[in-house]
Structure 1
Amino acid sequence: MIADSPLARTEPPHDCPRCPRLVAFRHALRIEYPDWWNAPVPALGDPDAWLAIVGLAPGKHGANRTGRPFTGDHAGVLLFETLGAFGLATGRYDARPDDGLRLTGAAIINAVKCLPPENKPMPEEIATCRPFLAAQLAVLEKVRVIVPLGQIAHQSTLRLLGERVSAFRFGHGAEHRLSDGRVMIDSYHCSRYNQNTGRLTPEMFRAVFARALEMRQS
C-alpha cells in the first residue's frame, strides 16, 4: 500500500499516541480490517504548491482505508475531477493510491490526521493535531491561497496562524485576507452528504478553485 508524503518530516508516527479515543478506534479497525491503512494519513501533493487544501479528517472507507487523502470514497471524485479541470492534477483518478494521480501546484493537508468515530473529531483532538497541520503549512512556503473544506478546517487554520476566528466568518466562497498576506477562500466540504443534499454542487465547488486561480495571478 502506497502512503508516501511530500512532507515526510512533518508527519506523525504511524502509531501516533496523542489522542486516546482515536488510538482506540484505530486499534479496533486494525482488528476488523487488517488490510486497511488504519493510521494517520499523510499529506498529498506538490511540495512547491501555491495552493493548500485543508480537509477535515480521513474518511473511514476512503483515506483511512487507502492511506491517501480523499481516495476511495465519494468526496474524492468531485475533488480530483475539479483539480484536474484546473490543471492542478494529472493522471487519472481511479480511487486507488497507486493509480498514478499527481497534484501540480496543490497540496492536501488535514486538520485531523486520524479517522474519528462518526467523522466527528472532538475539539481537543483538533487542537492536539493542530501542530502537524501548522508544521505542514509552514513547510509549504510557496502557498499563497488556502482553501479549507468546511468550518472545522477553516477555524483550525485560522487558529494556527494566530488569527482571531470571530473576525473571519465561514461561508462558501467567502474570501479572507490573512495577516501574513495570504488569502483564504472557504468551501463547503465535498462530502457525499453535502453533494446529495445539494448544499454543494459541482458548479459551486469549481467556482472556489476558479477564484483561487484568479487570486494567485493577482
Structure 2
Amino acid sequence: MYKQRAFLSDAAHELRTPLAAVSLQVGNLKARVTDPEGSERLADLERGVRRAVIVTDQLLRLARQEAEQHRPREDSVALSALMLEITAAFSPLAEARGIDLGFVRADAVEVSGYATDFRVMIECLIDNAIKYSMPGGEIDVAVCSSGETALLTITDTGPGIPDDLKARVFDRFYRVVDTEVEGSGLGLSIARTVADRYGVHLEISNRQDRSGLIVTLTFASVFTSATV
C-alpha cells in the first residue's frame, strides 16, 4: 500500500509541470486561432487539459491524505468560521453557474482536528454539490451543535444518488452514469479518507422529495457557544 501511495504521489507531482506548460501553450494558441472550426477544437483541447489538471491535483491530495492515516488530532477548529471561509471562496463559482450558495445556520462550534485537512474535506463536498446542482439551484449549508456532537450539512438541488449506489460513490474514480458533469470521481473518496482518519461520520442521503442530496458530517465537538 505504501509503494502504491508513493507512486501515486510521485506520478501526480511529475505531471503538474508539463500540464501547466500545456495549459500555457493552449492559452497562447487561443489568441492566434480565429477560424470557428479551429476554435472549437481548441476549446475541446482546453477542456481536456483542464480536466487532467484537476485529476492530477486530486490524485496528489488523495495520496497526501492517505499517507497521513495516523496523524494525531491536537488542534481545535472553529467549524462555522472555516465553513464561512470556504463558502465565500466558492461563491464566485456558484454564482457563475447561477446557483445560490449560502448558510442557513452557523452555530459557533469548535471540533478536534486540523483546519487544513477539514478544509480539503469540505471543499471536495462543496465542489461536488456545485457540479451536480442545476443552474438556478440552491446549496444550503448548516453547522449545528447537537449535544456532544456537531453537525455540518450540505443540501443541494442536484439529481441525488440512487440508493443502491450510495456506497460506491466513495470509490476512487467512480462516477454515476447518465450524468453530463465533468469530474474525476475522486472528490468523495478524498472526503471519506479525511473523515475516516478523524473519526468524522460522513453520510449521504437523498432529500425526501428527491430534489437533491444531503451530505452530513458528524463531529465530536470540543466547545459550543452562541450562534454566529
TM-score (structure 2 length as normaliser):
0.26
Length-normalised TM-score, structure 1? 0.26
